[in-house]
Structure 1
Amino acid sequence: MARAPLLQLTDISLTFGGDPVFSGLSLVVQPGDRVALVGRNGSGKSTLMKVMAGLVEADSGAVVTSPGVKVGYMEQDPDFAGFTTLGDYASSGLMEGEDYLVERVAEGLKFDPAGAVSTASGGERRRAALAKLLAEAPELMLLDEPTNHLDIQAIGWLEDYLKTTRTAYVLISHDRAFLNALTRATLWIDRGMVRRQEKGFAEFEAWRDKMWEEEDDARHKLNRKIKAEARWAVEGISARRKRNQGRVRALQELRATRSAQIKRQGTAEMVLEAGQKSGKKVIEAIDISKKYDGKTIVSNFSLKIQRGDCIGFVGPNGVGKTTLLNMLIGRLEPDSGTVSLGTNLDIALFDQNRAQLDPDVSLWESMTGDMDLRVSGKADQVMVRGNPRHVVGYLKDFLFDEAQMRAPVRSLSGGEKARLLLAKIMARESNLLVLDEPTNDLDVETLDLLQELLTDYKGTVLLVSHDRDFLDRVVRTTIAMEGDGKATVYAGGWSDYQSQRGAMAGDGKPDKKKKQSRTKPAEKPAETGLSFVEQHRLEELPAVIERLEAEINKLADFLSDPDMFTKEPVKFQKGTDALVERQAMLDAAEEEWMMLEEKAAGQE
């Protein structure tokens, strides 16, 4: 017997002044559904989720929840009025004696239930809202950007939780890895229409592109038909005026159909240009250390960054990634050690707190009021990579419409604020790009474009992100900060770091069972004379060596093109530098392996 749906929306229409957000929308959520809700920024994803939660009333249509079904919604801006601590808020919907449910979730999400509401950050409040939802365990969970403000370890914990729960959920997220791992169906909002595919997000882009290709074919056929009918109207209508008024009306209807079609939102026309070349050495840090309130942020850390490097910084929230980044670019002095910057550096900074944006000024003023972008005597123009552009035209490249130009920055969504800050950064030429959490709130299409721009960027990139897929696609070196002042450099992106460091458990701690199952000596390190750390390193080095050999082979194949040096000198130089770097790493890894093998053999 078929089970009743948890939630059913029928013929929903909603308008917020102007074009309808939805018109005639119908959808069903079944028990056990794991649904990705996707669409461009501003397409109405959050609005639809609020309609599903009963927080926004549609102009027409019906929202029906099956009897006994509780729908839980993770609020983006929860109301903490009347609550002293985050735990008080998170447990407010539970029965007496069930506070342990919040404590269990809070441990995974890494927030303190005893934390005061009055001093809690926006991220801590979001975590409390998520903890409240998970602890209450409704039959249907509506999750709007649950991974925002979570670090990678907490995202991993939440991912494992959602994999094992029997609760149905609808999920909005721009984290590809998160969506790929969890979803089995996809709801796609596109220009007020909602389509459903019974496949997870991993299949979404191929499906979307197919739908758009079919739409383009249909539009092309319609245009050809209108053109043919219009030619007939000009050439033959005078001779057959009375007999063919119906055909004239049909032509008018075809034109009306075309004019009623809503154009797809284009991709932002972002351009990222490196200016003058920096020196080959961009940054060199030697034995730098930093403490705050007795807590060691980084200890005796050294790093040399060369022109063209793309380096990612990962680690739990609060571990000091932004602090280390600020020390490396000279915005913050280390307690000890030295940082030297290379020559001819033009630094562009994307701040995770969007501090470069004044919330009280308009988009227009935000651009024209920037001294670096101002065009003398022109209140309506900005300087874009050395050329004056009208501020409206330039912001349209970043998908802002003319009606938004005089609106205050505070009225923008998170994704729109990110695009505005990118517009300010990309108006300048730079050769050192510092991006602190740039991926938050950006839709998939904009993330794809940003990834392409960073891949082709001729300068140097320092990137802090919790987006695992984005890190894998962009960075070539990863610096992992794991607390207690430890910062370790790994070759490659997030997945490379994970494979080198060893399998990670959902709570972010090493999975000892997996480590010890590889070889028997790991269970009895005393038999080899190696410490546990040395034994583990000996076990993982063969995989590291194998990966480095594969990378060297790929780079050698890439550089074997005889025309590469003349046609693509920059790519040739980058490939050569990478080959030299990988070869040095391979030599060091092989030497370390031989040393550990000899030590183990000598003390058996």
Structure 2
Amino acid sequence: MARAPLIQLSDISLTFGGHPIFSDLGFVVQTGDRLSLVGRNGSGKSTLMKVMAGLVEADTGHRVIPPGVSVGYMEQDPDLSQFETLGDFALSALDVSEHYKVEIAAEGLKFDPDRPVKTASGGELRRAALAKLMAEDPELMLLDEPTNHLDIEAISWLETTLRESRNSFVVISHDRAFLTALTRATLWIDRGAVRRLEQGFGSFEAWRDKTWEEEDQQRHKLNRKIKAEARWAVEGISARRKRNQGRVRALGELRAERAAQINRQSTAAMAFDSGQKSGAKVIEAKNLDLAFGELEILKDFSLTVQRKDRVALVGPNGVGKTTLIKTLLGEQAPDRGSVKLGTNLQIAVFDQGRKKLDPDLSLWEALTSDPTMAVSGRSDQIMVRGTPKHVV
């Protein structure tokens, strides 16, 4: 039985600042589809989802949604500035008889509908946007990083709810387990085009590697053919000049084909400088108590972290994980107990809100500035594991 299309994109092309994002892109999402949308950072996943949602208009091409089909979109950074509370936003498109759906979603995603928007964190805003989408229950849900700022229990609730629903969805996520558990097919954005695999994310990497291997083999064959034809053009054309102009033109076409191929970007390698060797003991916390009003964060808590330890802090949102990190680093004083840091420590913190980044700086300036050393951010060089590199 043929499945009904929910949305169709055809011949979509889009350019930002002279840089082509998509070219002649097209695909169909049908009833029952549960798609992972994957691709390198910067490949255009969020932009494509906004085209699907009708928030970004393509330069060329068509977006078709059949009459009566509802499409809902959850973006990474929702704007709730026109609403007083998170609940006002989540309820804004629902009838009174459907308000209970927001209450169910609020309980599963753990956010307070009465929280004023002005005092809500970025994570709370995202959870409200997700609750709004889940409560509206559209036939096609477009989910851009839905698990960001969710704790383990909330992710589990969302995964179960999506699995049990009858909705179709397209999801972007860096949560590999989430994608593997939920998706049945994969859309892969690669160099401005979209490929589709009729299997979920769990099969994606093997498919991608096979695709790249076949592509490399074809490129190798093309290079060998060009090399052979170029040798013939140099050695044999003078005797058969008139008869073989077609072969010369064919060589030019082969070279044009190779030039038109878009090379894959290499995979980014991540490495950390070992820094100066620290002592064996990194952190020693003894008998910590910490509370905010009636909320008890720590009670007689002790912890020893040794060099080379890898420690995960898990727990529901609001339980105090970030506060514990701040306490262990000496940024937050405990009500009782002591924290002792080891010798020769070099501490780096990647915080949720990226508070150390000045939003008024360009990426270049942010990379090369150092407030602790009064460096202005106008340098061309940065130090990478002890070696100067150009900022680009």
Q: 2:145 aligns to what?
A: 145
CA separation of 1:45/1:232 partners in 2, compared to 1, >3 Å: closer, same or farther? same
- Measured in 2, the distance between the counterparts of 1:366 and 1:52 equals 33
- Measured in 1, the distance between the counterparts of 2:80 and 2:328 equals 38
Contact 2:288 2:299 in 1 (8 A): yes
Contact 2:12 2:25 in 1 (8 A): yes
Contact 1:141 1:167 in 2 (8 A): yes
1:564-597 CA-to-partner distances (Å, cap 9, x unmatched) read xxxxxxxxxxxxxxxxxxxxxxxxxxxxxxxxxx
Q: 1:205 aligns to what?
A: 205
Q: 1:347 aligns to what?
A: 347
CA separation of 1:318/1:195 partners in 2, compared to 1, >3 Å: closer, same or farther? same
Q: 1:403 aligns to what?
A: none
**SS of aligned partner of 1:113:** coil
- Measured in 2, the distance between the counterparts of 1:380 and 1:6 equals 49
Q: How does 1:97-496 map to 2 (within 5 A)?
A: 97-370=97-370, 379-392=379-392
CA separation of 1:49/1:150 partners in 2, compared to 1, >3 Å: closer, same or farther? same
**SS of aligned partner of 2:5:** coil
Q: 1:466 aligns to what?
A: none
- Measured in 2, the distance between the counterparts of 1:178 and 1:141 equals 16
- Measured in 2, the distance between the counterparts of 1:161 and 1:363 equals 39
**Residue 22 in 1 paired to residue 19 in 2?**
no
CA separation of 1:275/1:112 partners in 2, compared to 1, >3 Å: closer, same or farther? same
Q: 1:437 aligns to what?
A: none
> Which amino acid is 2:388 matched to?
P
**Residue 31 in 1 paired to residue 31 in 2?**
yes
> Which amino acid is 1:297 matched to?
I
- Measured in 2, the distance between the counterparts of 1:178 and 1:29 equals 20
- Measured in 1, the distance between the counterparts of 2:63 and 2:210 equals 31
**SS of aligned partner of 1:58:** coil
Contact 1:284 1:339 in 2 (8 A): yes
Q: CA deviation at 1:184?
A: 0.7
1:370-406 CA-to-partner distances (Å, cap 9, x unmatched) read 2678999x932222232322222xxxxxxxxxxxxxx
- Measured in 2, the distance between the counterparts of 1:258 and 1:379 equals 38
> Which amino acid is 1:156 matched to?
S
Q: 1:76 aligns to what?
A: 76
Choose 264-273 or 200-209, whichever is displaced more.
264-273
Q: CA deviation at 1:282?
A: 1.4
- Measured in 2, the distance between the counterparts of 1:134 and 1:7 equals 19
Contact 2:284 2:305 in 1 (8 A): yes
Contact 2:186 2:201 in 1 (8 A): yes
- Per the normalisation by structure 1, the TM-score is 0.62
**Residue 93 in 1 paired to residue 93 in 2?**
yes
Contact 1:284 1:304 in 2 (8 A): yes
Q: CA deviation at 1:171?
A: 0.8
CA separation of 1:108/1:23 partners in 2, compared to 1, >3 Å: closer, same or farther? same
> Which amino acid is 1:362 matched to?
S
- Measured in 2, the distance between the counterparts of 1:22 and 1:380 equals 32
> Which amino acid is 2:323 matched to?
T
Report how many aligned residue pairs link the two structures.
Answer: 392
Q: CA deviation at 1:96?
A: 2.4
1:84-110 CA-to-partner distances (Å, cap 9, x unmatched) read 211111111111232111111111010
Q: 2:56 aligns to what?
A: 56
1:201-225 CA-to-partner distances (Å, cap 9, x unmatched) read 0111111111111111111111111
**SS of aligned partner of 2:338:** strand
Contact 2:369 2:375 in 1 (8 A): no
Contact 1:8 1:29 in 2 (8 A): yes
Q: CA deviation at 1:4?
A: 2.1
Contact 1:10 1:63 in 2 (8 A): yes
Q: CA deviation at 1:345?
A: 1.4
Unpaired stretches in structure 1, ≥5 consecutive residues:
393-604
1:209-253 CA-to-partner distances (Å, cap 9, x unmatched) read 111111111111111111222222222333333322222221211
CA separation of 1:182/1:380 partners in 2, compared to 1, >3 Å: closer, same or farther? same
**SS of aligned partner of 1:188:** strand
Q: How does 1:524-535 map to 2 (within 5 A)?
A: none
Unpaired stretches in structure 2, ≥5 consecutive residues:
none
- Measured in 2, the distance between the counterparts of 1:253 and 1:373 equals 56
1:341-368 CA-to-partner distances (Å, cap 9, x unmatched) read 1222122222222122211112222232
Q: CA deviation at 1:34?
A: 0.9
- Measured in 1, the distance between the counterparts of 2:96 and 2:254 equals 65
The structure richer in strand per residue is 2
- Measured in 2, the distance between the counterparts of 1:375 and 1:292 equals 38
- Measured in 2, the distance between the counterparts of 1:341 and 1:219 equals 55
Contact 2:278 2:307 in 1 (8 A): yes
- Per the normalisation by structure 2, the TM-score is 0.94
**SS of aligned partner of 2:112:** coil
- Measured in 2, the distance between the counterparts of 1:63 and 1:365 equals 39
- Measured in 1, the distance between the counterparts of 2:282 and 2:79 equals 46
- Measured in 2, the distance between the counterparts of 1:54 and 1:379 equals 41
Q: Please, what is the CA RMSD of the aligned residues?
A: 2.1
> Which amino acid is 1:64 matched to?
V
Contact 2:272 2:385 in 1 (8 A): no
Q: CA deviation at 1:200?
A: 0.6
Identity %: 70
**SS of aligned partner of 1:163:** helix
Contact 1:374 1:381 in 2 (8 A): no
Choose 307-316 or 3-12, whichever is displaced more.
3-12
**SS of aligned partner of 1:210:** helix
CA separation of 1:181/1:191 partners in 2, compared to 1, >3 Å: closer, same or farther? same
CA separation of 1:82/1:364 partners in 2, compared to 1, >3 Å: closer, same or farther? closer
**SS of aligned partner of 1:348:** coil
Choose 21-30 or 195-204, whichever is displaced more.
21-30
- Measured in 2, the distance between the counterparts of 1:144 and 1:252 equals 44
Q: CA deviation at 1:281?
A: 1.4
- Measured in 1, the distance between the counterparts of 2:183 and 2:383 equals 44
**SS of aligned partner of 1:196:** strand
